[in-house]
Amino acid sequence: MQTRIQLEPSEAVSTSPYGDWAIQPHPLPAQEIATMLITRYTQHTQILHPLLPQFAAFDLLQRVYRPDGAIVSSEDSYRIFMLLAISSVTTYRRGDTDEHPYGYFRSAQRYIKQVDFVGSVNAVQNLLLVARFATYQHCDISIWDIARTCIRQCVALGLHQPPTAPLTPLQEQMNRNLFWDCYVHDRFASGVLGRPYAIAEDDITVALPVEISEAELISSKAQTLDEVASQNIVRPNEASVVRFVVSLRRAITRISNRFYSSHTPQDQLNSRSAVADAGQVRLDLHRFLAELKALRDSAPIFSDPQSLYQRPEWYDYLVEKDRLTLLRGALARMPVDGLPTPRSLVEMTLQCATRVIELYSALFSRGQITWTRSYFQILFTSGLSIMFTLSILRHEQKDHERQSNEVAIFAQASAALDSASSLMKMFVSEMPDAGRFARVFEVLVRQYTTGTGTGTRARPSRAPSRAATPVPQQHTDGYAQQQQAPNLRHEICLRRSTVAPSQHQHTQAR
């Protein structure tokens, strides 16, 4: 049975700010540059998103740069350009490479008609490559739509459950990595947009990837993945990061289902105290806070971190932003019928939001983290949370004198707002359509600070040169006026799929 995967107009993201007139497709770089970028991909991006194993990335590099000049397949050409695009995002922004990553993506687009995006493991990998790049740049396609398509195919391929036929340990580990990367992407996209998950937790029965490095797994003589798990393994390793991130995503899914679910019975909507009893909200809040703390304590510890995803500060940031999601949900669920908002919860939310901005700003100032739309949204939400909690606390202080510790907390929060505003303005150089949100945020900050905060010491962004990339004219809706990127939406989102619909509707309201 065939089904049509179609992107509805309301689901579409704005077109890319990089049009035909701005950045042209790049040719393949010199082999030494490609080797550097692929190596960087396996040492950084692949740690968190192991959609392709490391050996596959290097095998691909060898096939593309064969000395005999043999013809390269369309899929290999597509994949090498996508890997170069993803890996060069940070190197370009730091000034280590000169080629804009969008140029590599433009080159990959040439092969879209000849590449599979439905019906196989390779197809899911090809889609996830687009999803990874879309985290950093516009691709004229909805990341949420990609996430649902990936999960749908995983279900059709049976990757969400234990394999029904024997697999080699390496292949089973690759399948697990692929499914859980789709899962993380689905939870990320749904969380950013506030939309339903593509698959319910109860429908997932496949285990997490075994905590073993790829090199150890390849050299292992074990016949099954269960045998591998029982062996002496050097920990932590790259799989430790994936297991931690997936566990954290599953925890935030439970939090979202508890505090953000839209499927509340009508009779409970009419009487919030029935569903949001203060005692029950506090009980759930402290239970989830304890769970998040336990997860942070279980994060892998690398003696010599070589990547952002191995640094303890990054784990602090991940958990803290999820704590803020929990606290905001608890605030929203507290009863409002004649009961004041608990001051302790408001203060906790204020300090948590401040901490989120401080952690990101510190990582950014050291050049250890880049900017994405997700980070922009987190900064924006954290800033609004600070403003909201400050307004409550300042209103209550009309009746009593401000304590010295409160003065320090308020000053720290005001400085965090300045930092967030400065960071957002830096982001606009690569995300022009975010400019209107940055301007609104700046106006709001002026209402809560005197403008004398410490700001941020973050490194300036590397924007495309004005000669090569003119500033696009803006429509009244704030999106750049330009031609749409060719082929991608039509070839991925409008292509007919041979994937049969799953037996159950794997949706879960938030």
Q: What is the pLDDT along the chain (510 residues), one digit of tens a residue?
A: 333 333 333 233 334 555 545 789 999 999 999 999 999 999 999 999 999 999 999 999 999 999 887 899 999 999 999 999 999 999 999 899 999 999 999 999 999 999 999 999 999 999 999 999 998 887 778 889 999 999 999 999 999 999 999 999 999 999 999 999 999 999 999 988 888 999 999 999 999 999 999 999 999 988 999 888 877 888 899 999 999 999 999 999 999 999 987 644 444 444 445 444 778 889 999 999 999 999 999 999 999 999 999 999 999 999 999 999 999 999 988 876 666 778 899 999 999 999 999 999 999 999 999 888 889 999 999 999 999 999 888 776 655 555 666 788 888 999 999 999 999 998 887 777 788 899 999 998 887 765 433 333 333 334 333 333 333 333 333 333 333 344 555 555 445 344 444 434 443 433
Token pair in block for residue 474: 């803006």
Residue with tokens 């280590």: 96
Residue 493 lies in a domain: yes
Evaluate whether residue 89 is within a structural domain: yes
Alpha-carbon span 236 to 7, nearest angstrom: 41
Residue 273 falls within a domain, yes or no?
no
Q: Model pTM? A: 0.82
Using CA atoms, how far apart are residues 383 and 481, in angstroms rounded to an integer?
30
Give CA separation, 3 vs 127, 149, 449, 481, in Å.
Answer: 17, 11, 53, 33
3-state secondary structure of 474: strand
State how far the Cα of 438 lies from the Cα of 443, in Å rounded to an integer.
9
Of the candidates 172, 173, 134, 169, the one whose C-alpha atom is nearest the C-alpha of residue 150 is 134
Q: Which residues of 321-341 are buried (b: 16+ CB within 10 A; e: fewer)?
A: bbbbbbbbbbbebbbeeeeeb
48 is in which domain, residue-wise?
A: 1-230+484-510
Residue 312 lies in a domain: no
- Per-residue pLDDT at 369: 93
pLDDT at position 67, please? 86
The answer to whether the CB of 380 falls within 8 A of the CB of 424 is yes
The radius of gyration computed from the CA coordinates of the chain, to the nearest angstrom, equals 24
Number of domain units in the chain: 1
Is residue 2 included in any domain, yes or no?
A: yes
* Residue 381: inside a domain: no
Q: Could you give phi then psi for residue 474, rounded to 5 degrees?
A: -105, 140
Asked whether residue 279 is assigned to any structural domain, the reply reads: no
Helix/strand/coil for 335: coil
Residue type, position 335, single letter:
P
Angstrom distance (rounded) from CA 248 to CA 174: 21
Residue 265 belongs to a domain:
no
d(CA 26, CA 100): 9
Per-residue model confidence (pLDDT) at position 373: 85
